[in-house]
Amino acid sequence: MAADGICGPMGGVLLAVKFDPMLARLRVDLRGLTLESAAMSDSENEAEVKPALEWLSERYPDSPRKRLKDWFAKGRIQLDGVVIKKPHQQITDPGDRLSMGGTLAPVFFRHLPTRIHAQATLLYIDSSLAIVNKGAGLLSVPVPDSNQVSALTVLEKFLQGKGATELDQQKGVHRKRLIPLPVHRLDQYTSGIICFAMNPKARESLVRQVRDHTFLREYMAIGDGKLDQKRGEWRAWFRLDEEGMYQTVFDTEEEGTTEAISRYEVVEEYSWPTAVQGQRHTVSKLRLRLETGLKHQLRIHAAGAGVPLLGDRHYHPDYKSALENKGGMPYNVQRQALHASSLGLVHPETGKMRRFTCKFTRDLAELETMLRDKSQGQ
């Protein structure tokens, strides 16, 4: 992996990437970023007693406690098949005995895709999953102590609001039991397809596919630079320090590291002469596939390979400099040029393979056209 020092704050948050050629490692300073803690309870004591809310929170760590309490109040939580409405009821480790709802009938909207928010379009929905095309700037899921809108909350409001009438007209559909649950996430300023499970059983199936690397996630991106090989694999090992402040990326496996694997393919190249006689600058349109899914994985891999994504204020030095100096963004790109273009999964209920796709957003399509025109004009 080869990279120069790459750094850049975003929204006042400092993140720096340093490359040590002697040690062949890329060090990422995540100071100031809010990271999701992957901490798990060290206690494995089966006799441990604590509130039902705590057990449910461990099972659904992506769901805010306020939402979990709402599920209790609405009678959606069952213990051994019996509804419990007291989130603070003391119970021992319930395992699979603590659940939500039951089997749901298929759900099909007559008019899909349908806009459910200025930055979100519902592409598909049934009793097991929902596919949403998320715009750049929209969160995937709610962030604690933040009033920012997320794709998850937008979908929830739609199902209980404008989408409720159509749902209520369908025989066998229990609208109030359709509970969108996160399966994976996209960075706030990454656009494209995101999947939500519509019941706990479906979520378990989909999360298992993500964990087993059978959940296909493809992206289209525009990287600033040229790759020697037109297709290949980026492989490294990531390790986050105990304080969640630094992430170190190694070229070889080390103690405490997690392997990060991405595949890439160069789809198109745009180039034009630079101010230096005889030299040309190249920008590459890339198709990227996540084999694993660590935080910022594709962006770090691309930067390390010498093709930092256009608009990436964390990992592209030119955008960091523009942000610090309050100057104009190169190519007028306001966010990282990364778009989740395709999802492939095994449907939790039918067992059939499904694939969902969506095209570049307008801003990236316009960027692509500008780069192509610039290249062809030279």
Closest CA to 324 of 13, 15, 9: 9
Q: What is the mean pLDDT of the chain?
A: 80
Q: ∠ CA(192), CA(197), CA(202), 5° rounding?
A: 140
Q: Are 271 and 290 in contact (CB under 8 A)?
A: no
Q: What is the CA radius of gyration of the chain?
A: 22
Which pLDDT tens digit goes with each residue over 106-148? 555 667 899 999 999 999 988 889 999 999 999 999 988 788 9
For residues 123 and 354, the answer to whether their CB atoms sit within 8 Å is no
Say if CB 8 and CB 319 are below 8 A apart. yes
210's CB contacts (< 8 A; 6+ apart) are 183, 184, 293
Predicted pLDDT at 25: 40
CATH 3.30.2350.10 maps onto the chain at: 114-211
Angle CA(266)–CA(192)–CA(265) in degrees, nearest 5? Answer: 10
Does 22 have pLDDT greater than 70? no
pLDDT at 175: 63
266: left (phi over 0), alpha (psi -120 to 50) or beta: beta
Model pLDDT, residue 269: 96
> How much is the pLDDT for 134?
97
Report cis status (omega within 30 of 0) of the bond before 113.
yes
CATH superfamily of 114-211: Pseudouridine synthase (3.30.2350.10)
Give the residues across from 346 on adjacent strands.
Answer: 353
- Return the number of other C-beta atoms located less than 10 Å from residue 115's C-beta: 12
Whether 55 and 91 have beta carbons less than 8 Å apart is answered as yes
pLDDT of residue 317: 84
**What are 365's two structure tokens?**
């399509």
CA–CA distance from 68 to each of 38, 54, 319 (Å)? 19, 10, 40
Q: What is the pLDDT of residues 31-83, one digit of tens each?
A: 333 333 333 334 344 458 888 888 888 877 767 788 788 878 877 787 766 77
CA distance 183 to 181: 7
Mean per-residue pLDDT, 14-35: 38
Q: What is the pLDDT of residue 37?
A: 33
**155-205 pLDDT per residue, tens:** 999 888 877 776 666 655 666 667 899 999 999 999 999 999 998 999 999
What is the per-residue pLDDT for 110? Answer: 67
End-to-end CA distance of the chain: 31
The dotted CATH code for 6-35+214-376 is 3.30.2350
pLDDT of residue 309: 95
User: Cα separation of 269 and 313, whole Å?
Assistant: 22
Across the beta sheet with 82-83, the strand order is 82-83, 77-79, 98-100
Contacts of residue 147, defined as CB under 8 A and 6 or more positions apart, other chains included, come to none
Q: Determine if residue 302 is left, alpha or beta; phi over 0 gives left, psi from -120 to 50 gives alpha, anything else beta.
A: alpha
Cα gap 335→50, rounded to integer Å:
44
